[in-house]
Amino acid sequence: MTDTDTKRELDDLRQQMIRLDEELLRTLERRAAASRRVGEIRSAQPPTLPVTDRASQRALVARASGVMPEDALREIFREVYACALSLELPVNIAFAGPEGGTGHACARGRFGAWSRLVPCDDVAAALDEVSRRRVEFAVVPFETSADGPVHGTIAALVAHELKIVEVLDASFDLHLMNKSGDAGDIAKVYATPADHAECASGLAKAEDAAGRHRFTMIDARSPLVACQLAAEDPQGAAVARELVGSHERLVIARRGVREKLADRARYAVVGSRPSRQTGADVTAVAFSVHDTPGALLDVLKQLAERGLNMTKIQSRPTDGEGWNYLFFVEIAGHATDRAVISAFEDVRRLTKLFKVLGSYPAL
């Protein structure tokens, strides 16, 4: 093939990509228009989360030919679905934790960057926003791989008449991000004290790679503020999650600077109305038993006799009640399934306290 032929083919491919990009734009606009119309039709109805979104995304990726990497496709569709949801369900969302933190990243990733996201100091405050109907949903920490279910969240849910409607994977890594994407441009790093502590060795490796003796570390009150400061500073960088940094037009200069990457976490989306069945659901409950021999066994028998699969059980001492324990259990199935309803009716009679925390699609 001559140089002329090569140039002609490249020009043809460039023109083809331009046409495909225009077609992609029109398709995205039609998708957005359909989402907006769904929102208009349902505007008079109580807000409910479309909990089959993730299953739809997985099905789309599974049908791909393999030309584009699966991770890239998942990220693209996640962003498309989040943007579409903000048009279909333009609601207010509370989240527990600082702006730019894990809760903020989960809320933004699920509901879209254009939703009104309300930061709250803690789980109780976020749930209170839902109870007072100032927001429609709250995104709160639910479980970590190191410590299991977050006891403060479980206790707060027991005290409210709210329900978990979805659980999100919150295993975000932290990156060193700046305007240029070149670690050699970095002299100062903005980070919260907690993020700095988690990334001390990773930042030291970044310093070595950049040929610097050390970065000047500057405390920021939240990851979002760290990104905003880095965006205004040509020599600055932020320790942040990619979703938060990219929103401030930062790019990754060094990927993965957290020390404990193996730790995984889940966040719960909590609303005032229970979710509907999807066919692949999990139900979470909390209960305490009487101080009698075999009390816990009697409860678990109700699940086993109905063929219900208990996927998780954990106990914690009940606050202010000596050595009494609150049990957290997840079972396969939805709270409206016949077998689940039957089991729960008997469990209520056998326990001192019993609370259905919610049903949600299995991850």
**231-243: per-residue pLDDT in tens?**
999 999 999 988 8
Flag whether pLDDT at 175 surpasses 90. Answer: yes
The one-letter amino acid at 40: E
Flag whether pLDDT at 261 surpasses 70. Answer: no
Tell me how far apart the alpha carbons of residues 75 and 360 are, in angstroms, rounded to a whole number. 22
Flag whether pLDDT at 259 surpasses 90. Answer: no
End-to-end CA distance of the chain: 51
Q: Which residues are CB-contacts of 358 (< 8 A; sequence separation ≥ 6)?
A: 157, 163, 164, 165, 268, 270, 274, 275, 283, 284, 335
Neighbouring C-beta atoms of residue 172, cutoff 10 Å: 18
Flag whether pLDDT at 74 surpasses 90. Answer: no
User: Residue 3: what pLDDT?
Assistant: 79
Asked if residue 286 lies in contact with residue 326, where contact means CB atoms within 8 angstroms, the answer is: yes
Pairing status of strand 281-289 against strand 116-120: unpaired
Neighbouring C-beta atoms of residue 249, cutoff 10 Å: 10
Tell me how far apart the alpha carbons of residues 142 and 139 are, in angstroms, rounded to a whole number. 9
Give the CA radius of gyration of the chain. Answer: 24
Q: Which residue has the higher pLDDT, 17 or 82?
A: 17
CA 6-12-16 angle, 5° bins: 145
pLDDT more than 90, % of the chain: 59
User: Residue 247: what pLDDT?
Assistant: 83
User: Residue 321: what pLDDT?
Assistant: 56
Q: Which two tokens stand for residue 319?
A: 């606050």
DSSP letters of 203-264? HHHHHHHHT-S-PEEEE-SSHHHHHHHHHT-TTEEEEE-HHHHHHTT-EEEES---S-TT--
pLDDT more than 70, % of the chain: 97
| Confidence grade of residue 186 (pLDDT, cut at 50, 70, 90) | very high
Asked if residue 111 lies in contact with residue 143, where contact means CB atoms within 8 angstroms, the answer is: no
Reported as type and span, the H/E element at residue 29 is: helix 3-41
Tell me how far apart the alpha carbons of residues 239 and 196 are, in angstroms, rounded to a whole number. 8
Residue in this structure with the two tokens 């331009």, named with its chain if needed: 18
The tens digit of pLDDT for each residue in 199-226 reads 988 888 888 877 766 899 999 999 999 9
| Confidence grade of residue 47 (pLDDT, cut at 50, 70, 90) | confident
Q: E strands of the chain, at which residues?
A: 92-96, 116-120, 137-144, 148-149, 163-169, 175-178, 188-191, 216-219, 236-240, 251-254, 265-271, 281-289, 310-317, 325-332, 351-361
Residues 86, 228, 120, 52: is their CA dihedral positive or negative? positive
Average pLDDT score over the chain: 90
| Confidence grade of residue 71 (pLDDT, cut at 50, 70, 90) | confident
User: Residue 282: what pLDDT?
Assistant: 96
Tell me how far apart the alpha carbons of residues 51 and 49 are, in angstroms, rounded to a whole number. 6
The tens digit of pLDDT for each residue in 26-43 reads 999 999 999 999 988 888
User: Residue 86: what pLDDT?
Assistant: 85
The tens digit of pLDDT for each residue in 92-130 reads 999 999 888 889 989 988 988 778 999 999 999 999 999
State mean pLDDT over 287-315. Answer: 93
C-alpha of 60 from chain center: 20
User: Residue 320: what pLDDT?
Assistant: 59
> Which residue stretches of 132-192 are H helix?
151-158
User: Residue 43: what pLDDT?
Assistant: 81
Asked if residue 344 lies in contact with residue 150, where contact means CB atoms within 8 angstroms, the answer is: no
What residues are paired with 190 via a beta bridge? 218, 238
pTM here is 0.82
User: Residue 319: what pLDDT?
Assistant: 66
Flag whether pLDDT at 198 surpasses 90. Answer: no
| Confidence grade of residue 285 (pLDDT, cut at 50, 70, 90) | very high
> Could you tell me which of 231, 225, 226, 223 has the C-alpha nearest to residue 251?
231
Flag whether pLDDT at 20 surpasses 80. Answer: yes
φ, ψ of residue 167 in degrees (nearest 5): -125, 135
Q: Which residues are CB-contacts of 173 (< 8 A; sequence separation ≥ 6)?
A: 241, 242, 255, 256, 258, 261
State mean pLDDT over 281-302. Answer: 93
Q: How far, in Å, are 295, 297, 303, 335, 353 from residue 341 at the CA level?
A: 20, 19, 11, 6, 16
User: Residue 263: what pLDDT?
Assistant: 66
User: Residue 158: what pLDDT?
Assistant: 93
Q: Which residue has the higher pLDDT, 170 or 326?
A: 326
- DSSP reduced 3-state for 51: coil
